[in-house]
Structure 1
Amino acid sequence: MTRSIVRFMQWRVGPDREPDAEAVTFAMECAVCGARSQPRVDAGDGQQWVFAHAGHNPSHHTYREHITRPYRAVMTRTAR
């Protein structure tokens, strides 16, 4: 015999601020050629990458910033 208990739970989701959470990281991507910097904790590192990349590729003027922010889902209570 198989038995199951099913409950509806309420959850919330938000940035993970636990002490063991992954770090927020920043990376820059060239929108012209797709080259991308390594993800770094300091957003300024990506800006330095842009200056270096633009210096080697003077026609590359547009870039995208990619931010990776860890999130956490937490059960808040049983739904009624």
Structure 2
Amino acid sequence: MIRTPDRETVVVFRGHPMKAEMVHELLKGHEIISFINNELMGSIAPWQVSAGGFQPVEIVINKKDELKAISLIEEFQSAT
């Protein structure tokens, strides 16, 4: 398979499950398709998906939306 920017994915956020859900909704509100990795296991057994249970949940998006998403996430984090 040929990797093109519209087929590549990138992790734009790692953190607590509740905060990841807020970021997911923020991105969805700005028409950026995102997926949450480790949502369930990050909630019940975070130490099994990341070392020490630190930042167990990831938000994954399409590479082409990376700059817009990072800008939105930085704005969100500075406001919270």
Above 0.5 in TM-score?
no
Would you tell me which structure has more strand in proportion to its own residues?
1
Structure with the greater relative contact order (CA < 8 A, sep ≥ 6): 1 or 2? 1
TM-score, normalised with respect to structure 1: 0.32
How does the TM-score come out when normalised to structure 2?
0.32
